Amino acid sequence: MFSQKAIKRGISGDTQATPEVVRHSRYPHRLSVYSDPPELEVSIEEFESFALDRLQVLKAIEDAQIRSSNEADRHTRISSAVDAHLPLHTNRSKLPLRQLMAERRKDHVSHFILRLAFSRTEDLQSWFLRHEGLLLQHRFRDADAQEKQHVLATMHLPLVYLAPGEGMDVRGSYYSKQDALFEVDFEHVLDLVQRMQVVVNKGRALVPQAEIATLLVHEFRRQLSRALAVCAKALPQLGEDERLVPVLQSLSRQSVRSEYQPTGAAGEVTADSVDSLAVHFPLCMRHLHTSLLKDHHLRHGGRMQLGLFLKGIGLGLPEALVYWRRAFSNLTDDQFQKGYAYNIRHNYGQEGRRVNYTPYSCNRIITTNPPGPGDHHGCPFRHFASDRLNAALRQDGLGEAEATEVVELARNGHYQVACTRHMEINLRKRRTEPAEELRVDTVVSPNQWFDLSVGNGKLPESSRFAASAAQPPGMTQ
Partner 1 sequence: MDTSTDDSAIEVSPMTLGQFYQRLFPHRQFYSWLNYKAQSSSMTFTHREFAFTIRDGIYIRYQSFKDCEEFQRELARLIPTRFEIGAVFTAQPKHAKSLQPGVFKPVEKELVFDIDMTDYDEVRTCCQGGSICSKCWKFMAIAMRIVDAALREDFGFEKLLWVYSGRRGVHCWVCDERARQLDDQGRRAISGYLSLIRGGAEQGKKVNLSSRTANHPHVVRSLDIIEDYFEDVVLGEQEILLTRDRWLKVLAALPDEDLRQTLDTQWQKRPDRTSSEKWSDLIDAVDRRAAKQKGKFALTMFERDMMLQYAYPRLDENVTTHMNHLLKSPFCIHPGTGRVCTPIAADDFDSFDPLAVPTLAQLLREVNEATGATKGKEYAETSLGEYVDVFDDFVQTLDPGNEADVAMAGSLDF
- The footprint of partner 1 (CB under 8 A) covers 172-174, 186-187, 190-191, 193-197, 199-204, 287, 291, 300, 338, 342, 369-378, 380, 383-385, 388
Q: Which is nearer to partner 1, 123 or 375 (CB)?
A: 375
112 vs 36: CA distance, rounded Å: 9
Amino acid at 37: P
Q: How far is the CB of 284 from partner 1 (least distance, A)?
A: 11
Q: Which is nearer to partner 1, 53 or 191 (CB)?
A: 191
- Smaller CB separation from partner 1, 81 or 362: 362
CB-CB neighbours of 203 under 10 Å: 8
412 and 69 Cβ atoms separated by less than 8 Å: yes
Residues annotated in a binding site: 284, 362, 379, 419
Q: How far is the CB of 287 from partner 1 (least distance, A)?
A: 8
Q: How many CB atoms lie within 10 A of CB 195?
A: 9
Residues in CB range of 155: below 8 A, 6 or more apart: 33, 216, 219, 220, 223
Of 366, 367, 125, 138, residue with least CA distance to 256:
125
Of 187 and 400, nearer to partner 1 (C-beta) is 187
* Alpha-carbon dihedral angle through residues 76, 77, 78, 82, given to the nearest 10 degrees: 90
Which is closer to partner 1, CB of 80 or CB of 368? 368
Binding-site residues for [4Fe-4S] cluster, in ranges, read 284, 362, 379, 419
Q: Quote the CA–CA distance of 154 and 90 in Å, as a whole number.
A: 18
- Measured CA to CA in angstroms, residue 31 lies from 53, 95, 136, 222 at distances of 18, 17, 8, 18
- Smallest distance from partner 1 to CB 317, Å: 20
**Closest separation between CB of residue 297 and partner 1, Å?**
11
Q: List phi, psi (to 5°) of 69.
A: -95, -25
Q: How far apart are CA 163 and CA 149, in angstroms?
A: 17
Q: At its nearest, how many Å lie between partner 1 and the CB of residue 303?
A: 13
Q: Please identify, using beta-carbon distances, which residue of 49 and 330 lies nearer to partner 1.
A: 330
- Of the pair 147, 295, the CB lying nearest partner 1 is at 295
- Distance in Å, CB of 194 to partner 1, minimum: 4
Q: Pick the closer one to partner 1 by CB: 42 or 235.
A: 235
Work out how close the CB of 295 gets to partner 1 at its nearest, in angstroms, rounded to a whole number: 10
Q: What is the smallest separation between the CB atom of 16 and partner 1, expressed in angstroms?
A: 45
CA nearest to 324, candidates 344, 304, 347 = 344
